[in-house]
Each structure stands twice: as C-alpha cells, then as structure tokens.
Amino acid sequence: MLELHCHTTCSDGTLTPEALVALARARGVKALAITDHDTIAGWDRAIAAAANDLEIVPGLELSTVHRDRSLHILGFYPNRAQLEGPLQERIAGRHRRAEAMVAKLAALGYPINLSELPEDTAPGRPHIAAALVAAGYVKTPQAAFDQWLGERGPAYVPYEPLSAPEGIQLLRRCGAVPVWAHPYLFRGGTVATVLPELVAAGLMGIEVYHPHHSPSDIRHLEAYCQAYGLLITGGSDYHGPTKEPSKGNVNLNGLQVSLDLLPPLKQAAAALKR
C-alpha cells in the first residue's frame, strides 16, 4: 500500500524516521512519503533505514497563509539543492513563531520551556501543546489547542508570510508537485471557492484521502480532481502512536491507499523537471 503523508521527529511527529520506517514495513506499506512540516531533514535517515525493501517518496508539507488562515501544501519529489535555502528561512521563521507563542503563554500566566527539542526539529504547535501538558496546565494536547493554540486561540501566532500561490510556485520552481493537503480542514473559505484560486496558481493535485475527510468529502474531491485534471493523493497524516484513538486519528497505513496513485505523481514530477 501507499502512504503519502507522515510526520517524524524532524517536525511534530513522535517517531524518529527510523522508527517510522520500521512501522511502515510492519504494516505492509510499499511506498512511504516523508512529509514533515517545512523540512526535509528526515529523508536521509528514512532512506538509510528503508534499505531496498521500502520505497521512500521524498516530500514535505509547506505551511502557507491563505485568506488569513493556515493552508498546507504537500510537495513531492523536490530538488533538494533548490529547496534547502528557502526552507532554512521557513524553519527559522518557525523558531521565531514558537518563541512568540511561548511568550504569549507566559504573559497569560502559563510559562513553559521548549529548549529540549532536538537540533534538527522544526518546531510546531504540537510541541508547545506537549510542553503545556508536561507542565501540568492541561491533561491533553487537545485541551491545549482548545484553550490557547487553535487558530483563533489567545496564544496563536500565524506563520510568517508566505501566500499559498507563492508556496505553490516555490514548490514548482524546485521541481516538486504541489498538492493541497486536507482541503476540508481549511477554515478560510469553501473548497469550491478556494480551489480555483490554487489551480490558477499552479496546483497539481489534491489530497483526497485523509482521516478528516468524510465519504462525501471524498466524493466531492474526486469530482474536483476529474473536473480540473488534478492528481489524487492520500495518506494518514500520521504523527505517531496516540493513547486515545479519536476522529481524524488513524494508524499508519490505516487508509489503505492504492499504490496505483504513485506512478502519475512520479510522471508529473518528472515533467516539472524537463
């Protein structure tokens, strides 16, 4: 099976690239994309751990802002040398943003310390949520999101400016196939109104299969892909094992995405590089 959306300890996942690869192998995944937030630091470790019996699809999940809300774009098969410079700036922005959220929390009366994150980790809100749990302010990360870290929460800080069209163009310039991640999680407008804006900017695919998408969401997205001539991708958006299973939280390979989706993605990536 195919798994095209996963996070590791290089961003806000809780499994190392090596542990993720071992789990993917055990779950029967044949091709595994590493799509950390704004970083490609996990690729080499995943590729080394995968040896020859699991194909690693190099990817990332780029964080952009569209209509004043966070919008995620997956990028598959980027040219590393072209993307590394721009990503360094995005990761530096993530560090500044995390510090700004920590400062807001301190001002609200909830001081935390984020210093023990590994060097190669691009920090995100889940790290802050975990620190709030560790400090004993809330029982679960979800409660931290509900109380402070949600997009309209009192400690939220948006990503540093990068519009969705700029993100799509950046990915394409670097040879990566841009795919709108989990469209029905976007809060800045309906899929029907936002999708044409992204297609005009050069979007090439939609993440149709995602744990937060209902069967009717999936049918709508499949129809949009057909209408606009877009690629279909899917993945579990796996962030590591969780204690309590909840909606939108499936296991690695839980969506059983077909390997048939991979060759068209590879062809599109090759065409971008010609």
Residues that bind ligand AMP (CB under 6 A): 12, 37, 63, 70, 124-126, 142, 145, 150, 239
Cβ(6)–Cβ(32) under 8 Å?
A: yes
213 binds Fe ion (CB under 5 A): no
Rounded to the nearest whole angstrom, what is the least distance from the CB of residue 264 to ligand AMP in the complex? Answer: 26
Region for residue 217 given its phi and psi (left: phi exceeds 0; alpha: psi -120 to 50; beta: otherwise): alpha
Phi, psi of 244 (to 5 degrees): -110, 120
* Binds Zn ion by CB under 5 A, chosen from 12, 36, 38, 207: 12
Distances, alpha carbon 41 to alpha carbons 60, 61, 112, 115, in Å: 10, 12, 26, 19
109: left (phi over 0), alpha (psi -120 to 50) or beta: left
Interface residue with Fe ion among 66, 72, 90, 104 (CB under 5 A) is 72
**Taking CB under 5 A as the rule, does residue 207 contact Zn ion?**
no
Count the helices and strands in the chain (H runs, E runs). Answer: 9, 7
DSSP 49: H
Q: Between residues 220 and 239, which has the closer beta carbon with respect to ligand AMP? A: 239
Q: Nearest distance from residue 57's CB to Zn ion, in Å?
A: 18
CB of 182: closest distance to ligand AMP in angstroms?
Answer: 9
Instruction: Return the number of the residue (33 or 105) whose C-beta is nearest Fe ion.
Output: 33
Contact pattern for Fe ion over residues 92 through 131, marking x by CB under 5 A:
----------------------------------------
CB of 159 to ligand AMP, least distance (A): 7
Cβ-Cβ contacts under 8 Å for 82 (sequence gap 6 or more): 173, 174, 175
- The tokens for 1 are 């099976």
| Least Cβ distance, residue 229 to ligand AMP (angstroms) | 28
Q: Which is nearer to Zn ion, 22 or 185 (CB)?
A: 185
Q: How far is the CB of 182 from Fe ion (least distance, A)?
A: 6
Nearer to ligand AMP, 25 or 138 (CB): 138
Distance between alpha carbon 183 and the CA centroid of its chain, in Å?
Answer: 12
* Residue 186 backbone class (left: φ over 0; alpha: ψ -120 to 50; beta: rest): beta
The answer to whether 237 contacts Fe ion (rule: CB under 5 A) is yes
90 is an interface residue for Fe ion by CB under 5 A = no
* Residue placing its CB nearer to Zn ion in the complex, 187 or 273: 187
CB atoms under 10 Å from CB of 105, counted, come to: 22
User: Contacts with Fe ion: how many residues (CB under 5 A)?
Assistant: 4
DSSP state of 202: T
Site residues, Fe ion (CB under 5 A): 61, 72, 181, 237
Site residues, Zn ion (CB under 5 A): 12
